[in-house]
Chains A and B, each alone.
Chain A
Amino acid sequence: MPSKPPALIVWDSCCLIGLFNQEEDKAAGLTYELRECSEGRSALGIASASIGEVITLADGTPAYPVLEQFLDAPFLQILSSNREVGLLASKLGSRFDLRAQPEILQKAIDFGCPKDQKRLKSKDAEILATAIVYNAIRLTTYDPFLRFLGANFIQAEYGIAVDMPASTLLFP
């Protein structure tokens, strides 16, 4: 009988940078999630779409050798984009184009999103769709627009949290 699988947490690209750069507001939460994964309570998913967004190290050398090392973490699964991800990304991108939805756009601004962020861009949509399609329990991100959509639509419709790291979500 297969054992219960670890819950999947997917990281947005900003989490990779936030961890590697030890950003003050992010390092503790992200390290906490890594430890949860390392101890087998969760698994970490990285959308293949995220990997290419990290290009150069601060010393000017290419980032990929460091990324390769990280991607060898045994608790990590690279999540490929496939047909289902592509179709859902297209659907999300179309639905969350707020240029013709002024009321929702105003709510997004009130939530803290930049005024000029009026739609879900293709990379955002692909990463969000990846997390949904692979049945993640959360997409960890600090991006205000993704978090706004998570709080107002995605959590209710797809059952996935889209938010910053929060230990309470791992132990409901």
Chain B
Amino acid sequence: MARQFTAEEHLAGLTLTVRPINDPEKPVDAEDFLHAATRWLASLSSFAIDSGLDVRWEIAELKRSSAVLEVIPVDSTTGIIATSIASGWKTVVRQIEETGMAPDSLNPSTIREIEQFTSEANKLSMSITAGHDSISQHITVSTQKRMKEAVAALPNEEYVQEGTVRGSLAVLNSWNQDERWFRLRIPIAPEKQVRCSYSDESLISALGDTFERLVDVTGLMHYKKSEVWPYLVHVRSVRKVGSFSLDSFLQNLKPFNLPPGHDSVSYIRSMRDAE
């Protein structure tokens, strides 16, 4: 049964209101709403982590038509409502909107998440309220511009390179033609799921048969400095990893060519010493 929040508990809530941009009286498209809400929640989660809080988001209100979603952050361990997030979040968004600069305490990834959320206002009318402050803050073109400035002001903490990464396909999202992606789970780092975005439609059916199977994903890898695995891949190709039998492989080994008198160690040494 859904939890009933008191009026006081609602003061810890954060609300997103989404309307169609052209005709606010019409019902909002469900996919557009879910997309915006996902971005919003991602930015809230990032902000909560920056605040040192591990929370889950309980739905306190969900209204149809002019879609309204209210969530309340609840400490994942204690179940106690985290009251500080709402006011902190609104203050941060307002500060960036006014100055184009994010506070130093904010992680760059959070600033990027907030910018991604506000970019949803390109096709929707969105407003947010948070905590005690009942005044709606509209996400405007000016908000978006300031968020982009805040992102542009961040030190370059990322780099890109071509590469290939192997993993199993975990989540497949092909319904939004503007943003198709899947998640790749890396066996030796299961806590890390790499977001892989693609635009090639022919990959949709190919990816369908690879769900939870191993694939090699090749493309432009986006890394955060000091992290081992990419956090994002712009996919160029996906290759299903073929079948492999260790016993059969070991029975059919073909030797490599080595110069007379060399074993594997002396051969490799001779190549490396020749540099």
Measured CB to CB, the residues of A under 8 A from B are: 2-3, 5-6, 8, 12-23, 26, 31, 34-35, 38, 43, 45, 53-60, 63, 66, 69-70, 72-78, 80, 82-84, 114, 116-117, 121-124, 133-135, 142-144
Contact = CB atoms under 8 A, between A and B. Distances in A.
A78 B243 CA distance: 17
Given A2-B190, A83-B223, A19 B246 contact: no
B63 interface: no
Given A77-B188, A80-B164, A21 B241 contact: no
A14 B221 CA distance: 29
B271 interface: yes
B273 A117 contact: yes
Contact of B275 (A15, A73, A123): A123
A57 B252 CA distance: 13
Interface in B181-201: 186-191
Contacts of A142: 264-265
Interface residues of B, number: 42
Interface in B227-275: 227-228, 241-244, 246, 249-250, 253-258, 263-265, 267-269, 271-273, 275
A16 B268 CA distance: 11
Interface of B: 159, 161, 163-166, 186-191, 214, 221, 223, 225-228, 241-244, 246, 249-250, 253-258, 263-265, 267-269, 271-273, 275
Nearest to A65: B254
Nearest to B263: A23
B256 A57 contact: yes
Shortest Cβ-Cβ A-B pairs, 9 listed: A17-B264, A2-B190, A14-B264, A56-B257, A18-B264, A72-B242, A58-B255, A121-B272, A21-B255
A76 B186 CA distance: 11
Dominant secondary structure of chain B at its interface with chain A: mixed
Given A72-B243, A121-B273, 5 more contacts: A14-B267, A20-B256, A43-B188, A63-B256, A74-B244
Contact of B256 (A54, A78, A83, A116): A54
A84 B226 contact: yes
Contacts of A123: 271-272, 275
Contacts of A69: 242, 244, 249
Nearest to B187: A43
A38 B246 contact: yes
Contacts of B244: 69, 72-74
A91 B249 CA distance: 38
A124 B263 CA distance: 17
B163 to A, nearest CB: 5
Contacts of A74: 214, 241, 244
Contacts of B249: 69-70, 73
Nearest to A122: B275
Nearest to B162: A80
